Structure 1
């Protein structure tokens, strides 16, 4: 299949789609529309090469450089707009409803980021030149099947018929068409999306080994594998933990939350492997995430204490020195809890209703002047506007021994901060205390 022929068929399919009533969104490399919750930063450009296999390498000739993503509630369309710029392509979205994207990734290529965004939302994509079409696999299969990539797979040890049978058994043929010929039992062809073809390549790599050669395994006996179903950690993390425990898996296939293991040497001890995985498949076994949360309205000590009330497991907080005044909270938590912890801290750090509260009284002939000086200092230290502070009239009625009170109209958390500052300054003998002031002081 020549590139010219594929491009012509692709253009025909595009014209047909644009004439239909199906909603189509087009994102070009010249336009960037980013909404709230979307952060994409770029880095140095790595060597060209997409990691896409076989005869369709020219479809993904560029990786778009290294990017870091921090997406929380971002619109899929905004994300694709940003990635279109990084990749230097035009992206067409077919028959998709508005979708929110929540994803965090550091140091990945723009191509990998595109695949993560697309796959995490159950979509697929096709590419021809500088045009990428994103949509549901069924929709792409219907409208763009002539453009789906046709790839040849060669096997060395296992007949193609066995691998084709496994493709059907594992449900990979939903977005694939697979064919073979009797005259060459070690070759088959598959046509489908980039993602589905990569899964086929992973399967071939895991199965087509010397221990599975035809002489060792009868053609009537199906290839053996074992399945590990995980609920708390991803399959890649399970492989990593098993290796640390001395159980190395060399031939496997990762499908959603399943890990298909083809290492025959592990089968005799499979009960022990399953027992070990059951102990490792817990949330604390997942890698921890560390981030610093910047507070605006409450101090770090209060945020840490109140966060405990949410009952998050395996979440640790670290406050720096002077936590009664600082507004930076270091959080250590499993990745799956990061969004929930951030949301909880955001709700805790919301703006509360203001109230009026006396914070300091002074007695003496120069007490009023003393409170004026204290008011200016507290405003500087707490970032509370000086207009929120007020000084009362003489509360004693005795001009020779006047009593004045400093009060503030602020949120309860800000008032507590001001009282802590008064205590730290040792004004009035402690929090919200009183002090005698004379003209000779």
Structure 2
């Protein structure tokens, strides 16, 4: 990866335009094959065969033409010749551009770049290892792109122009709008941090302007909606019933009745279960403080049974710091949920462990609980997030409620 002095360099616009204009008729193998396959079905094997042909031409230093085509396809079956013939026609149609080998890149270990490492370490907004890993991945992806562009002789830096090109690169590679906006947010925060540290980094006015331009790069519009499905009342009863062990039953009711996230279930300690006051103390995702929510009677009963079976009832005063589920991981919770869903024929697209949390919010609203109380129970930062459940309920009842 380039060091910070290269990353922060911002070439003159005139130079950029000259380089770009020279590179219009120049593609890497992957870029060319991506354009070739853009209008083909996703399952098509045409791009794979075409890429093998192009790479063979580059290896032998042959031009990509009819003679190379004839040499390469001499002993190939017809089902492999046809894709290459189609590619050659495509290549000739776009004007036989120059093709270069894909730049060799090495996988960057987490926070390998000193700039990223320092930023991640000092970023106060990043709470929890998961957030730091996500931002590190996003920033490493950007700087890999910078290295690839530099290897092709194109100008690339931590600047508005390069970031805008990077966003387009992600779109071309069919990244989701959510992922693109996440990557862009990470880059913008890094740029803002660099501006604040401009004296330590010894940035020039030109570099500062390039960093400020990044804030003007716009992300992709996303229609905010649900990514997860939810269960109906009778479906939830099926999932929470007929469970093999008291531990699995306890896990399921915490997800499907209390609305906890999987990671929140793994963090529960015996001292967080307040049976007397009927409250659960929950340490939320990326949080450092706990919030109290209603500890429902049906859930209390299931957890008490589990505690009795594990010889921890009544909860010993000296063991209140122990975890409720010793050494339970989130992937194990997902397995427990998926097993129950499949058992009752409820496993479908969009239905997962997190769907049980959506189910809690949805059913509470349908039972007449106020939006504000649902927000407090699910511990949403904003009411807007909770309002998605209202939108989902509206869509669900639209055809039944609209007058004829």
Give TM-score, length-normalised by structure 1.
0.20
TM-score by length of 2: 0.21
Whose helix fraction is larger, Structure 1's or Structure 2's?
Answer: 2
Query: Whose Rg is larger?
Result: 1
Higher strand share: 1
